[in-house]
Structure 1
């Protein structure tokens, strides 16, 4: 500092310079006209950079416009009365690179010979903190404004909904919020309900039992919900609760729908169907679009000699049919055409190898994303025997049943090798009838090419009758 700020006759100049460097981040000596005589930058503030280009130039050149007037006022006060107490001033500096930094100066008049000494404290760290606080405050205000907007939209949509809805705390059973429709349905106000349990709005419902029922219904896969009776009006409502998480806490959103006579009859009808599904002697099976068993009733378990549902669940239904993939292909072709099938004759093979003749009805269940298929399998005993007898009157009933059991399990060549032309004719007639005169499917069932099937149809005089019955499909 000694080569820039001259301390004149002050004692121990090196000591004075050290004190100035320790006290000030930036010390500037100017004459009474404002020209810079010397300066010193504290080693603790290296980011102020090199300011040697200030020396010999007017100090005002390195001030922002608003700081110049402030500097002029304070310097004028010092020059007019050297003993006057001048408050510190904060000036914003700008250098040639347009880099601004704030300095808080104290002004000291060193006399006619030594000019004016400006001892400055760098305010940039404080300015950074202030700017960060300002940015955080603005961010908080934006977040608060956004939150108010979200809260407003939530409240408008929540109250405008015609469906009565209540938000319930799962553990305590306390109602957190009700929309307008729910308050009208329950004949209460939110203020009156917020301190009480939601269960008090319903007749004969205890807090613990009611909360447990809501949690169980929310966790269940079905949408049956919980039925309750309103305490004030005596009306019956069905509550459909759903879990949701907000701010790390779990809550229940309960939709409340008044139960009408129509709903009551609909529920009774569903219960009746469920009882029919479980108790009927006919086998009922639900499969996915590929034919894998999803659900089956007790009748199907008895028919297949399966001990429990998991023994058949997930397996292809074709595994339980004697002709397997051939039967399923024919069934799927018919379902693709009309969406339903009835009276398809097939044989079911149980898990222990026993066989039973059944009539199969099937339909695609519309309106489901997984495209399930429903099957009803009914054992056909006397009716099937009469049909078989009519198909081949020249053979005994036992022989005809044995022949029909072999169709689809071996090729036509093997069947003919063990029987006679009568059996061959009967097998062809049976295949054509089972496939509803679909000659491509009949040829596949018999293990023949389509051309070979035509030859044999001509051989036994079946071509004309087959053409009249259904064509080449």
Structure 2
């Protein structure tokens, strides 16, 4: 007894006769179940005569009994069926993906046909590829969404670089630990008579005369404690005359940096509170931004935030507590505030925005706390509703996980959460009973312990079919 194919692409047992000795028909069927989700018994006229189903959600396959196998698939799949059934073509160990039509939906199935050496019937073993197809679609949608977000990031970075380079006064960014210059704009290079890009990587103190370097270090230490520390007057290396150096700290990727403004007296250097460039960027940025005080009352907001909460103007929002808009009252903001006090920044915090008209929008929030006598809290709010809509929706409701149910606390009442979970479980039980009884609703009502009328009422409520039972 040998199972090796003509083209030698299979490696059989060394002693198959002893291996399969004692196997019954049921054992053989169980082996076949391991290979696929269901099996079709096809006669010499290519008509489906019987079906064996491995899992409960393949009850639709029973509708194919009595039909020609080729008539159950889409037009483009029919040549593959002919090839699988063609005895003159070697189909051993060959799988073919075909698509079945079912209630307007195309169901992808992978088939392999087995024909006994002594017999006219075929056995087609099928593997349901719907889960694979759904994962592929979800991956594609997610990839497209990531590409759009990446493009948005690149555009934002380009705008930042243009803004940074075209500021008329000298500005540089230095690492707070090593004082190494990370970036310097054109005006800074021109002030130092340096070639474009030559300042990056140098020490910030190297551009200051030696006798003033201790003053710069002392100023950095002072401003780390008190942001109101006045600028320090120093002389730059190789230059006569004094300049004013003002610094402000910011964090990126967990590291602290200094933004250094150099006032050489030839350019107008705005104060940190009235920097019109920064204000213009914040006002016109596509993501919502809001600045709040320690009590979470709104101090400043941009137009994008006003649009997100459906406000007529930004002025309408000033003084209103952010608890009115962000997440569950006193819950989400409380969590954000606690994390900000522990870590100074938060990224991609999932929440919802409650607008003035009663609507909700899923969002991601990034936040930062500015430490001073009266701390300030800045929130960047990005809507992720489009991203969630991009992801494919499943054909039917599946039960929520425990984590998903707990996320509803504060958004829905306990009664609503319990009712939603009960409806999902009830629908799944009815579907399972219908599959188990091959859509015989009288039998389904009996195994569920319901009257027929009660079952028909529940079918209608869940949208599972009309009221005409298949008895």
User: TM-score normalised to the size of structure 2?
Assistant: 0.47
Between the two structures, name the one with larger relative contact order (CA 8 Å, sep ≥ 6). 2
* Higher percent of residues as helix: 1
